[in-house]
Amino acid sequence: MNLNSFNNINNFDNLGLNKRLLKIIYDIGYKVPTDIQIKCIPLFLKGKDILSIAKTGSGKTASFVLPILNNIEFNNNLQVLILSPTRELVIQIFNFFKLFIKYFKKIKIISIYGGQSYNIQFNNLKKKPNIIIATPGRLLDHLNKKTICLYNIKILVIDEADEMLHMGFINDVKNIIKNIKIKHQTALFSATMSLDITKIARNIMNNPEEIILNKDNINLNIIQYFCFINSKFKTNILINFLETEIFNRLIIFVKTKDFSLKLSSLLEKKGYLSSALNGNINQSLREKIIYNFRNGFINILVATDIASRGLDIDNVNLIINYDIPYNICSYIHRIGRTGRADNIGKSILFLENKDLRFLRLINRKFNNNIKRIYVPDFNTLLNVRFNKILHLIKKNFNKNYLLLNFYKNLLNKITNFFNDKKEIQDITLSLLILVYENNFSKISYKDLLKFKNIK
Ligand code: AMP
């Protein structure tokens, strides 16, 4: 995140949070509050209604979680309701709370979302939670079943309000609000400001304080590229990029659920650690996939837009928009999965000639800062492969003598890359010269051929 404008507040001490919470914040390792935290936390603590427009990855979750924990009362009442559009986001906010909740043993918090068994949720509700984080649909089911009562809600947070709107949740949200009986504080977070958002805010909020941090919603930590491709070779082009780009974690966005599965299994066949993530995948599997991605068991997600909202996973440093997003908003959210916290991220958008209009739109949005990148050509690929082999040799070679099996493997690998046998020998020899430098006289070209023949 851009921790660059601190308005003279360069620590958490002056925001009005209590000492216990401050200690936890510093224990967790946060040093300076982000812009949204500086603006939002003091107003939130005073009980003001808040309409906040902030870019993805700006630290907004903490900007409501911290004042909620500061102001919560230790009793058995349900005091706080947080609404979020997707299951993944609900779980993410829940996990964020968990970071802090271990210091607040008396506070009970549960998540409610579609796809999770009702029995688990009924049991959790029996524990009399103080805070519920929910998707609107499943929460309404509980309200209709009278298994949740919102009478005592004092704080309502609506996260990703623009997405709620987009997914047609707004009537559900209004119906939910009708169930809150007492005067309450409302905080609404949205990544984009629109007429509809202002209308909703006016309808459900009481004279809200507006916090508009990054009107243009531009995250400068993301270096954006577009690449013109021929759709016939799209998959091959993707694989060329996978070879030439350096990434820790990558999300590839595609249009359809079916294709996310197809592409991911193709990548797996090619040896990549990849999983598909789409709305058809059942909830527990989705959670497992995100867990695997977060913990490095896989490093590529092939996702539909369901994954583009709010997901905060460390070290996603590359986003490939394999299929173009359906609008600018979706583009911003997709690329917003990288360049989070202080990290630099990169995004590549695959385009065909028919997509020029979209390119113009995003270029206007990002002040012509989207640069052209070209499909990696044969020479670039060759270079990358050379370097990989060289690295392998340097890592594995015992400098005193040649390891026969290793050599055979190496030749096999090289044979897969090149068809011309003479070329293979020359390349191998050149690589060995590079690795062996002055010691090379110990090996002759004849030896090389001998080893090749053993293969
Ligand atoms: P969010 O925009 O809420 O999804 O947060 C993005 C990331 O920033 C999360 O990983 C947070 O843990 C992290 N974060 C939030 N506030 C701070 C802070 N003050 N200092 C460092 N990291 C933070």
Q: What is the CATH number of the domain that holds 137?
A: 3.40.50.300
Protein residue with its CA nearest to atom 20 in ligand 1: 30
| Residue 29 belongs to domain spanning | 3-212
Q: Measured from the CA of 33, which atom of ligand 1 is nearest? A: 19
**Tokens found for residue 249:** 């974690």
Average the pLDDT over 410-426 and give the result: 61
Query: Which pLDDT does position 440 carry in this prediction?
Result: 42
CB 324 within 8 A of CB 351: yes
Residue nearest to atom 11 of ligand 1 (CA): 59
- For the CA of 56, the closest atom of ligand 1 is 2
Provide the token pair at 204.
């459900």
5, 160, 312, best to mutate for ligand 1 pocket (most atoms within 8 Å of CB): 312
Structural domain ending residue among the three candidates 347, 372, 397:
372
Q: CA geometry: angle at 181 spanning 186 and 137, to 5°?
A: 70
Q: State which of 321, 356, 372 marks the end of a domain.
A: 372
Q: 191 Cβ partners below 8 Å, 6+ apart?
A: 53, 54, 55, 56, 160, 162, 163, 217, 329, 332, 333, 336
- Statement to judge: residues 8 and 156 lie in one domain: yes
In the numeric block, which tokens belong to residue 357? 């209009």
Give percent above pLDDT 90 in the chain.
51
Residues 130 and 202 reside in one and the same domain = yes
Averaged pLDDT of the chain: 84
Atom of ligand 1 nearest to the CA of 34: 19
Q: Which atom of ligand 1 sits closest to the CA of residue 310?
A: 4
Q: Both 161 and 231 in a single domain?
A: no
Within-domain flag for 217: no
Mutate to test the pocket of ligand 1, among 3, 21, 30, 190 (most ligand atoms within 8 A of CB): 30
Residues with CB under 6 A from ligand 1: 1, 30, 33-34, 37, 57-62, 312, 340-341
Using an 8 Å Cβ cutoff, are 428 and 421 in contact?
Answer: no
161 and 226, same domain (yes or no)? no
Q: Are residues 327 and 430 located together in one domain of the fold?
A: no
Q: Please tell me the distance between residue 118's alpha carbon and the centre of ligand 1 in angstroms.
A: 32
Rounded to an integer, the average pLDDT of 230-243 is: 93
- 200 & 55 share domain: yes
Both 175 and 26 in a single domain?
A: yes
Residue of 9, 53, 61 with the most ligand 1 atoms within 8 Å of its CB, for mutation: 61
* Residue whose CA lies nearest to ligand 1 atom number 4: 57
Q: What's the pLDDT tens digit per position in 265-297?
A: 999 998 899 999 998 888 788 889 999 999 999
**In the block, which residue shows the tokens 């060289």?**
390
Based on the structure, what is the number of domains in the chain? Answer: 3
| Full-model pTM | 0.63
Please give the pLDDT value at position 263.
98
> So what's the pLDDT on residue 118?
95
